[in-house]
A and B are shown apart, each in its own frame.
With several copies, the nearest count.
Chain A
C-alpha cells in the first residue's frame, strides 16, 4: 500500500471530527483500502444519513451523498438498482441506522440489495450532543435520560440476522488490520453487507469500548477455525444444552469441544447464537469478525433481470401502441 494510492481517495475537505474521534481511523483505513481493491473512485459512491459518522462522504474523493437522517439505505437501494457499475457504500451511525432508519435497514438486508453498510456504533448520539441511542446500555445517563435510560438496547447483529441478512460482521475502529480485512470481505460480497464498527466518541461516550480492549473481551471469529481467544487462546466458545453458546476455559473442555466457526452456514442459527455473546450492558465481551457470509441473489440484480430497455425508436413505437390502445373511435 503506497501513500500515493491512499491520497487518491482523500478529498480537499478539512476533516472536522473532534480530536480523538474513532471516525478518523475508519476513514484512514477506508482510504487505504479502496485503491488496493482496485475500485476506482469514479465507480464509488458513499451514501450517508445524518450524524457525525455521516460526514464521511465529504472526506472521500469519490461520489457521495450526505442525505437526511435515517434514509441512506433507501436512497442507496434506488441507486444500486439503477447502476450495477457502482460500488455503493452506506455510512451510518447507531442512531441513524437503528433508530430513525431501522425500517430501511432491515428491509435493505432482507432484500439483499447490493450495498455495503458501515454502521459506526458509538452507543450515543454524537451530532446532537449526547442523547442515548438504541445501542446504549440500560441505565445510561444522558441529557435526555437524567434518571437513566430504561430500554433494552438492540444487538445490531442479532437484529440483522433476524432480518435475513446475508453478510454480517463486526470490527473495531482501533484495529486497522481487522477493519481492513472485514471491509474487504464486505465489499466482495454481492448483496447487502452489514459491518458494525465499534467507534469511540471521546466527547460524549468516551471509553465505551475500553473494557473490551483491557480484558480478553474481544472474541475474534475466523471461518473454519475453533473459536478461541484471550491470552494463549486459553478461552473458547462451546454450545450449551439449551442451544446458546458460552465461553469456557479451553483447558477444561479440550480444544475438540470448542465450536468451529462456519460463516458460510446456510442456516443463521449459529451465527445468531454467537451474536448473543455480546454484552448488552457495559461491554466486556463481544465477538468480532464475520458472523455470516452466504450467497443469495441480490435484489438489484434480480430487479434488473426483469427490466429491458428497447432501442430508442422501438421504445417510442411500443409506447405509441400502448397509448393508442385497442378500443378507439374516430371523429371525422
Chain B
C-alpha cells in the first residue's frame, strides 16, 4: 500500500533530449501545481545550440520546478527528483542532486550506443554507481508504446508520448489534479485526434502505473500555500516587461515605439511587442543596437514613448546614445535583459552582472535612474514605473530598466503583491540610507554621483523599490485590479498628440507659441548647468 506523506516543498527537474518535450511537460506540471494553490518558481534550461545532435550532453533540455505550501523565492538549487529520459540527461544533471534524491529514468534509451555517446562505459542504472540515490529505472517508452497501441500510430510516433507518461506518473506521485492536463491536450491536439488520444492515454497510463505498481511506496501531498486571494496566471519576465511597457504607454496616452536589435535573451520583448501593432505599438528591428536606441530616441523626440530592449553587449553599445538622451532630457526606457559573461557571453544563461554597467557605464556624468525587477511578475511593475519616471522626472528624462534574473523562461505565479528576491540574496543586505540619493525618484543629476559609502547594488534595487512606488495600494491582489495601480503610479501626459518637445518642456520655458522652435538650443544646457550648448565645440 502506498502511504501518503505531507511535505512542505519539493524541487523536480525534468530532463531529456531537446526533442523529448521536457519544456511542455514542465509547463503542464506547473499549471497543475498552480491549480492546487502551491507557491512555485520555475527555471527552464535550453540547450545553447539551435539543434544539438540527439543524445548528446549539448542537446539536453531541462525544466526545473520548485513548489511549496509557503512563500518561496527561487526555483531551487538541488532537485529532490530528477526525471531523466536518456543517459545524457542523467549525466548532465547528476552532479546537482543531493544524496537520497529520487531518479526516475527511462531505461529504454540507456542503450550501449547512447551510453557511449556521453562517455558511460557501463550502464549507471545497473553498475551500482547511483547507490546514493533512490533510482526508479523504468521502461517509460515501452510502457507508453503499449499504452497507446490502440491508436494505430507507428512505433516512433507512439513513443513520442512518453513525456506524458512521465508526467502522469509524477502527477500521481505528487497528487496533482489531472483535469487541467487532459483539457489542455484535448485543446492542443484538437485537429489531430489520434495524437490527442495517444497523449491522453499515455498520461493516464503513467498515472495508473504509479497507483498500481509497488515501485512507489510513498505518495506526497503538498498543501496550498497561503496566497493572497486573486486571479493568477503564469508569466515570463519578458512578457510581463512587454505588457508593462504597453500599460505605461497606454496610461500616458502615448504611442509606444520600440527600437531593438535581436539578441538572446531579450529578443522576446521585440517579438512580443511586434505582435501588438494594433495596440499603438511600433517596433523597429534596427541594423544594430546603436541605431535601435537612436531610433527610439528619435521617436521620443517626436512625442512617442521611446523604448529600447537588449542584453548586456547591446547596452554597452548604446551608452553614448543614452548619455545623449540624458542631455536632451527626452524620455527613454532601456531594458537590459541580462545574460552571463563579458563579450558575447553566454546568451542562454542568465546572470546578474550588469548592474555596475547600467549604473556607471557612461562617460562624463550622465546618470540614469536604474530599476531592477524582483521576479517575472515584477517586470510588469518595473516597466510601468520606468515609463512613469521617464515621463515624469522633469530634468532627468530617461530611465534604464535592467530586468534581473528572469528573462525568457522561468515563470512564477504572478500576483502583484508577492515580493520575491532574486536567487542570490546578499548575505546581509545593507539598507539604503538617507545619503543614498539615488533611492529617491527625483534623482538629481549631480547628486546621483554622491552615493553613500555603501552603494550596495542588490540591496539598493530591492530596498528602494518600495520607496520608489509609494502610491501603490498595499493590497491589490488580483490581476483585475492592475489598471488601478497603473492609474495611481503612472502620470499620464496631458496631451493626446504630444508636441515635439515633451510637455514639461513646454511648460517650463517661456515660449511664444508652437511655431517657436527651441529644442536644438536646449541641447544639454540644463543638465550640466552650462550656459551654451556643449555641441558648440570642436571635436
**A interface list, Cβ under 8 A from B:** 11, 13-14, 16-19, 40-42, 45-47, 50, 52, 54-55, 57-58, 61-71, 74-83, 86, 99-100, 102-104, 107, 125-129, 131-132, 134, 143-147, 203, 303-304, 306-310, 312, 315-316, 318-320, 322-325, 327-332
Contact = CB atoms under 8 A, between A and B. Distances in A.
A19 B59 CA distance: 13
Interface stretch (B76-84, B137-145, B228-236): B228-236
B514 A104 contact: no
B46 to A, nearest CB: 10
Given A63-B500, A145-B285, A328-B232, A82 B262 contact: no
Contacts of A318: 278-279
Interface residues of B, number: 96
Nearest to B227: A331
A265 to B, nearest CB: 27
B281 interface: yes
Contacts of A145: 274, 285
B113 interface: no
A192 to B, nearest CB: 14
22 contacts: A14-B53, A16-B52, A17-B50, A18-B51, A42-B515, A65-B519, A66-B523, A68-B320, A74-B294, A74-B298, A77-B291, A79-B301, A81-B284, A82-B282, A83-B303, A104-B291, A104-B294, A107-B287, A129-B50, A203-B51, A322-B243, A324-B480
B321 interface: yes
B381 to A, nearest CB: 12
B290 A71 contact: yes
A45 B267 contact: no
Interface of B: 31, 34-35, 37, 49-53, 56, 58, 224, 227-235, 243, 246-247, 250-251, 253, 255, 257, 259-264, 267, 270-271, 274-292, 294-304, 306, 313, 320-321, 324, 328, 343-344, 380, 415, 479-480, 482-483, 496, 500, 514-515, 517, 519-521, 523, 533, 535-536, 538-539
Given A315-B250, A323-B243, A323-B247, A308 B294 contact: no
A128 B233 contact: no
Contacts of A79: 298-299, 301-302
Given A82-B303, A307-B280, A324-B231, A99 B287 contact: yes
Contacts of A126: 50
A193 to B, nearest CB: 18
B344 A50 contact: yes
A319 B243 contact: yes
Nearest to A75: B298
Contacts of B274: 143-147
Nearest to A103: B287
